[in-house]
Structure 1
Amino acid sequence: MSARNREQLIHIAARLFLSKGFKYTSIEDVVSHSGVSRSNLYYHFASKEELLYAVVDFWGNRYESALEISLSQREYRAQERIENFVALLLQEIDARGNKGNCPFIAMYQQSPVEAEDVHKRVRHFFVCLHQLIAELIAQGISSGEFRNEGSAEQSAYLFVSSLEGSLVLAETMNDITIVRTTTDAFFAMLKQSSVQRT
């Protein structure tokens, strides 16, 4: 029950932080929406900032694990494995009503200046995201799926930047198809033209 309460608090806090903003979400909001007592919340989290870290860490672990599993699934094409990751993102964005499309950037921007643990965890996620996407692209180059004319590292930076930009646009314009269109364009480029070295 204790672990279930902790998970419930993280999920409710995540939803509230993204819909209302971290600053405007109170501990009472989390308690009333979760059905978990205030004392139980403080048993798991000493402060609202600690709860924020748990939210960011939960998302980071979830998405990093999904990509790490993809790396080992060599029976599938690299593009298919990356697209499966994007599909996971889109499924969860749809469940949130197209809010907080990039929860990491949203939480980074909303977190207090002194919340260095949160900032470090967000940076760690983006480092991992870049590395894992670069490895998947490298596998695609090695198998001949992608053209062997550019750097997998550079291509991964381009993918992550394009993905994050499309997530922001999709939320701003209330059109989640922007993410899929951007992803399709990236793979078309990776197959048809080179990413030039600088």
Structure 2
Amino acid sequence: MNSPHSQHIVGILLAAGRGLRFDPEETKNKLLQYTPGGEKVVVASAKTMLTVFSEVVAVVRKEDVVAASLRALGCTVAVCDEADRGMGVSLACALQHATDASGWVIALGDMPYVQPDTVAALRDALMQGSDVAVPVRSGRRGNPVGFGRRLLPELLQVEGDQGARALLHAHPWTAVEVDDAGIHQDIDSPADLE
């Protein structure tokens, strides 16, 4: 096994969804709405990842304000033309930009309240040899989730809107206990921003 210093864990930020639960008419992109802290949802989510990782690949559906915002922060932006086919396709698109990594922590662009310490703990679990690392608070699994290099072939084959969730059922995972309510807080409706 590699020493922790030779490992390269990459952050992945999935930001290619349409957000139809937030706005069925698609007039307001939820990722561009402001959190109570005054930052755009996707910017807050990306900043958390950039606090922990020197490399963050953000997958978006098109070149737009979301892509520009993420690029300005220093993310590598991957445009996924097939994003409507589901989160699994978006994930595979992002992974194509970081296949040489020894692991990935996969976060969602609509989860701005996850704490950097949680992301760092997932990274550390991967560096210590976990194939799958999942944050757990009060007995409930949350996001983001970390995957080790051994699972890359399966990650690249994931399809549909469940993302990599099926891999959590197929492989043992390390529970990373955290005191972070943000692992359960995604932005699905305008009320989630209040």
| TM over 0.5, shorter chain | no
Larger radius of gyration: 1
Q: Normalised by the shorter chain, which TM-score bucket?
A: under 0.3
Larger RCO: 1 or 2 (CA < 8 Å, sep 6+): 2
TM-score (norm 1): 0.25
Could you say which structure has the higher strand fraction?
Answer: 2
Could you say which structure has the higher helix fraction?
Answer: 1
TM-score (norm 2): 0.25
